[in-house]
Chains A and B, each alone.
Chain A
Amino acid sequence: MAEGKILDIAHISFLDMIKVMITMGGAANAKGTLIRNALATADKIKEVDYGSFEDFLSAIEDSTNPITQVEGKASHQGDFVFGLAKCPFGPSISNYTGVFEKLPEGYADFTTEFNKPSNVTDKYRVGEGAGVSPFCSVHQPMRSAIADKIKINGKNIEIFQLGCKSGAGKKGFAEKWIAESGVAKEVVDKVLDNHMCCYYIKIVD
C-alpha cells in the first residue's frame, strides 16, 4: 500500500497563521509581529561570556552556544565568517510544500517587506536583501538579538547577516552588511554554495 504524505500540523498551522497575519494586518505588521516574537525569545536567553573565540567555537560544537541552540551548528569558514548548513525552518517548508506544493500567498510580499530598510533591521543588521523567505524575519533578528547576550572575553559581539539561500537555491545577498562587515561578496557567495545562511561575527572593542 502506498504511503501518503504526513502533515505536521504544528508546521502547517504556523505557516498558515503567517498568511492570516498578512491578510488581516498587512505584510509590514506581520513582519513586525514575527520580529517582536523573535526578539522576545532572544530576551529569554541568559547572558554568557566566553573566555576566547575558541571557547565560543567549542560551544557551537557541543551545542551549548545559545545561537546553536536555536539554529543548529554553524561552521566557522575563517575570518569570523560562518555558514549554516541547514535552515532551521527547512523542515517546516518541506512539510508544507510536500503537501500543498507551494507556500501560501503573500509570502513574497512579506519577504520583500523584510528586506526593506527599517529601524529594526538596521539595529540587528539583518534583511537588506538577505531575506529569502518570511522565516528569515524570525531567524535572523533572533540570532542577532541572542548575540547581544554573548560576550567574548568581556567584549560584545555583533552579527552581520551577509546572505541566505532559499530552498529552491536562490541566493540573497545583503549588500549593505557585506560592505559594512568588509567581507568580500565572493566569499559570501562561495559559503552559500554549501550553506543556507551566511553571517559574520564582529567582536566589538
Chain B
Amino acid sequence: MAEKMKKILIVDDEEDMIWSLKNNLNHEKLQVDILTASSGEEALEILKNTPVDLIITDIKMSGISGLELLIEVKNRYQQTGVIVMTAYPSPEFKSEALSKGSLHFIEKPFDINNLRKVVRHALREDNLFKGTVAGVELSDIIQINCLSRTTTALKVKTSNQEGIIYFLEGKIVHAVCGDLHGDDAFFKILAFNGGTLESMKITEAPNNTIKSSFEALLIEGARRMDEKNSSEENDSFNPDALEIKNAPSTTSGKKNNKNKEAAKENLKTDNIDKEAIMNSLQDLLTEFTNIPGVNTACLVGRDGFLLDSIALSGIDTEMIGAIASSGFGASESMGNQLGKGAMSMTMIEYANGPVMFSPIGNDAFLVIVADKESNLGMIRLKIKKHASAIATTAAI
C-alpha cells in the first residue's frame, strides 16, 4: 500500500514566498502535499478541517502573527510540527535553524535545500510533536519574540507565581514579578518551574526597566539557573512542563488536570524522542559546532581519551582531550578541596576565546572551544539542553 503523502501548510502573507515554496519545495527526496494560507486566520480555518503534518510559517504577518499561530497550533494540534521563518538575520537564529529540537527555525532568505533538509527532519515519524507544548522552551519563545521584533506581553504563570515580560519591537523592556521589577523580575520568571504562557497584545509597556540585550539576559539567566541547587537543575526550568495559551483569543486550549497529566506524560515521551533523534554523538556535537564561533566540540573520558569530536581541520583533538582532562580534573579537585560540591560547568577565557568544560555522566566531560565573539549563553544553554542526551548516547 502506498504511503500516505504528508501534508504541509505554508503560511505567509507574501504571495511570492508562497508561490516559490509551493513550486520548489517538492524534490527528488521530498514529496509532500502542499497547502497554503496567506494569513494566520486562514491557516487556522484550514486546520479545522484538514490534518496537517507540518506548518511552515512566517513570523511577521498582519493579523495573527506566526508566534500566535504557533501557540494556537501547540494548544490544538499537538502532532503538527512548526517551522518558523524569519527575515531578521541573527547568528543565533541561524544556528537554531539546524537545531533538531521540536521547533525549527529558518532564516530568510534561505537556501531551498536547507529548508528541504529541515522539512525532511521535521517530518520524520519519530520527530512528531507529542506534547501540549512539546519542546517549546520559555527561552525559545523569548528569542522568537525578540528576533521577530514582536510587541507583546508574555505572561508566565505557575500555581503560586505570576510574571509578565514586556517586548517592544523585539526588545525586552520591562518585566514584573510580584514585588520585583526589571532584570530581577525577568530572571525570576525565567526560573519558574513549569506553568502556563499567555501572549497578550500591547502597544506599549507600563515601564522601561530593562536595558540589557535579550542575549545578555538569557546568558545571565542560564548562569543563575546553573547556580541553583544541582539536584533541582532538571526541574528549575522544565520547559516541557509549560503550557501555552493565547489570550485574548477565545480559542485558547482548554486546560484541566487531566490535560496537565497527559501533557506531562507526553512531554516525558517527547524528551525521549528528542534524544532518540540525536542518533549519534556526531549529531549532538554538531549542535555546538553549529553555534557561530564554536570550532571544536569534544567528548572526552575523564582519563583524557577522546570519545568523539568535531573539530576544524588541523586541530589535534586527541591532544585537546589529554590536556583538557588535566584542566577539568584540576577544576574539579579544586572544587572538592574548597567543599564546593560537584562541578557543573567551568570556563577558561583566553585572549582568542573561551574553552568551556562540562561534566557528562560520571565518566566524561564536554570540551567546547570557541572564538571570543561566540555567544557563551547559547553554548551554556545547549550544554544544559543536550548533556543528558550525550550521556545516554555515549552510554556513560
Q: How many residues of A contact B (CB 8 A)?
A: 17
Interface centre among A29, A36, A116, A120 (most CB of B within 10 A): A29
Among candidates B326, B328, B330, B363, residue contacting A33 with C-beta atoms closer than 8 Å: B326
Contact of A32 among B302, B307, B333 (CB under 8 A): B302
User: Looking across the interface, which residue of chain B has its beta carbon closest to that of A137?
Assistant: B303
Asked whether, in the complex, the Cβ of B322 is within 8 Å of the Cβ of A32, the reply is yes
Asked whether A18 is an interface residue with its Cβ less than 8 Å from the other chain, the reply is no
Knowing A28-B325, A29-B328, A119-B307, the reply to whether A23 touches B333 (Cβ < 8 A) is: yes
Using an 8 Å CB-CB cutoff, how does the interface string of B310-329 with A read, 1 for contact, 0 for none? 00000000000010011011
User: Which A residues are closer than 8 A to B by beta carbons?
Assistant: 23-26, 28-33, 35-36, 113, 116, 118-120
Cβ-defined contact, B305 with A120, below 8 A: yes
What are 13 residue pairs bridging A and B, where the CB atoms are less than 8 Å apart in the complex?
A: A24-B329, A25-B333, A26-B302, A28-B303, A29-B325, A29-B326, A29-B329, A32-B325, A33-B322, A35-B303, A35-B305, A116-B363, A119-B305
Are the CB atoms of B330 and A25 closer together than 8 Å?
yes
Contacts of A26 in B (CB 8 A): 302, 329, 332-333
Contact, CB under 8 Å: B325 / A25: yes
Given contacts A24-B330, A24-B333, contact A119 B325 (CB under 8 A): no
Which residues from B are CB-within-8-Å of A28? 301-303, 325, 329, 363
Residue from the list A24, A30, A36 in contact with B322, Cβ < 8 A: A36
Residues of A within 8 A of B302 (CB): 26, 28-29, 32
Tell me, yes or no, whether B304 is within 8 Å of chain A by CB.
Answer: yes
- Using known A-B contacts A28-B301, A28-B303, determine if residue A118 contacts B330 with beta carbons closer than 8 Å: no
A25 contacts B329, C-beta separation under 8 Å: yes
User: Do the beta carbons of B332 and A32 come within 8 Å of each other?
Assistant: no
How distant is the Cα of A28 from the Cα of B328 in the complex, in angstroms?
11
Complex CA gap A194/B303 in Å reads 33
A36 to chain B, nearest CB (A): 6
| Across-interface contacts of A29 in B (CB, < 8 A) | 302-304, 325-326, 328-329
CB distance from A51 to the nearest CB of B (A): 35
Report chain A residues within 8 Å CB of B305: 32, 35-36, 118-120
10 extra interface residue pairs, beta carbon distance < 8 Å, beyond A28-B301, A29-B302: A24-B329, A24-B330, A25-B330, A26-B302, A28-B363, A29-B326, A32-B322, A33-B325, A116-B363, A119-B307
